[in-house]
Structure 1
């Protein structure tokens, strides 16, 4: 008998599910059922991704609060998965108190490491809206492939971007041209971990081919340091002095949902949680 952890992808709580979501999520449920039938101890978790610019942008477009939008779609997702018979041991949400507490604890320890530092960087700003614009709040043209891209990435070619990399960037809310203002943020020094991450990728030959290819590509191109914080008013508070008006960058907190949700699923058996992680 083996201990098996299965983490289903977390859909953004900014719109209804469609057949593409279900097709992508169903194999994990099949795998969970197989291992249970084989007598293994399975912890199968997932949840709704409630923070970040996708939810905040949808809220602005509908004249609602991000909490209203994410709560609406979280309830819809949970009911949909129930009706379809998904066998999650725990289905959570990144806006839950349990998740937020776990993320803050994790980031407090992370900030004490030698891999986190502060840096002043240019951030997109919309004079018309009177606010900083993070990630999807900026749209423009990808400098790599010429496709339509956002301030965080280009879906057409997979290029990881910053707003200042875009050609002809505009505010996604009002369509106005943007300017750039200096803003202080916390960064994680990925370049210092490059060799360790390269060794990790090379040691896992059983990864899916696309995961292996993308990981190798990023390392080959040279890992860039990534921000841990964002100029947003929706998200998890940064547990660090001087950052009261910022939030934890969604990619630095939603991935921790696999840990927080499995801890919640195994709350009556903390030793089982420690063995899994």
Structure 2
């Protein structure tokens, strides 16, 4: 009798184990060893390659055709274009946990508020290490995604950015004058570049002047290279590069007084509504 009970117990235990095996997770991880374990990813951005505005973001989805037994981590890499890593937030990862088949990451396009010419960036998602890359099929070519970054502009105002050699210890300021009303606005923060909406869309139509004050310049300097960037509401970016003749400034440039500060005028701006025509003086 005891023998019969023992055999019955063993039989029931076997049935239970078989049932447990049958009810295991439906995820079928690839076995370790052999090429059948390697995966083919599908990487898809939620923004179609092409134009993208500063301040936007791109979310990349990563889908494996099968699961693996090890975590695979991905990172975004800038692999081409005229832009730099400063144009993107690349300090992100996408973690594909073991036995999972999908994950995602979001790359932000940095907005610095400075009007700039279009920049292109080519982004590629890559495994973070050799260990992670081991699981990717050698027949799979990692795709590249190219975007053209459109500069931030104000929908109504003229944004002006004034920059010079950031390695020099100069401090230069930027000022705007109305032909009719005189001193109009200024940017004097000590930053490089000095950036401000100097002429607003609600300001009176007419002519304005943009100039600089070389507030604090190193001894022995005779010329200062500069770049002015104007961002218009319609998305147009106007860039002017030149050299400020510091040694002969008093005889080279027309000047105006901004509340006791002598300003050397460089640009003429004609405003009609939210359209601005910019020219050098």
TM-score (norm 1): 0.23
Q: Flag the structure with higher strand content.
A: 2
Give TM-score scaled by structure 2 length.
0.23
**If each structure's helix is expressed as a fraction of its own residues, which one has the higher value?**
1
- Could you say which structure has the greater relative contact order, defined with CA pairs below 8 angstroms and 6 or more residues apart? 1
Larger radius of gyration: 2
